[in-house]
Amino acid sequence: MKIKLIRSYKKLNKLQVLVTVFVYAIVNATAEQLAKYKAVLADNFREDEDGQALWFSTRCVGQTGTLIITSANKVVADTSKFDEAASLAQQYGGNLGTELAKHAANMLLGAQVAPANVQSTDTADKADLNK
């Protein structure tokens, strides 16, 4: 099931700590998936005024994502790409790990990544020839 972030809000949790709740709309699911989702959530199932199923989480998974219903009937976000990126960044560490983490975060969150500002050696060579 595909989800899309529609809003967030603040609330106090059971420990009276202010947390952010992210609200996602389920935007792509089969009738069978939606029926199972509704059954698993039971009394906690919510939909918006247009009848679109909603998923609430205190963990942001980006602008879009995928939901999974586990074998234990828990609804969770598929964070495998985030876990993969974190593992690679940790595995290589240092500057490479930092750059891998930055690149992965941009890719996962859909940010536009500007190309590195590197001058081509061809351009530098041509400039030397014109002297």
- CA triple 59-61-65, angle to 5 deg: 140
Report the helix count and the strand count for the chain, using DSSP H and E.
4, 6
Q: What is the pLDDT of residues 6-26, one digit of tens each?
A: 999 999 999 999 999 999 999
Distance (Å, whole) CA 68 – CA 22: 17
So what's the pLDDT on residue 47?
95
**Contact 23/56 with Cβ under 8 angstroms?**
yes
Q: What is the pLDDT of residues 93-112, one digit of tens each?
A: 888 878 877 887 777 776 65
Q: What is the pLDDT of residues 43-101, one digit of tens each?
A: 999 999 999 999 999 999 889 999 999 999 999 999 888 788 888 878 888 888 788 77
Q: 32 to each of 40, 67, 68, 131, how far by Cα in Å?
A: 12, 14, 13, 71
The strand pairing partners of 5, in sequence order, are: 24
Domain ranges of the chain: 2-78, 79-111
More confident residue, 99 or 39: 39
The strand pairing partners of 65, in sequence order, are: 3
Q: What is the mean pLDDT of residues 21-36?
A: 96
**Contact 106/113 with Cβ under 8 angstroms?**
yes
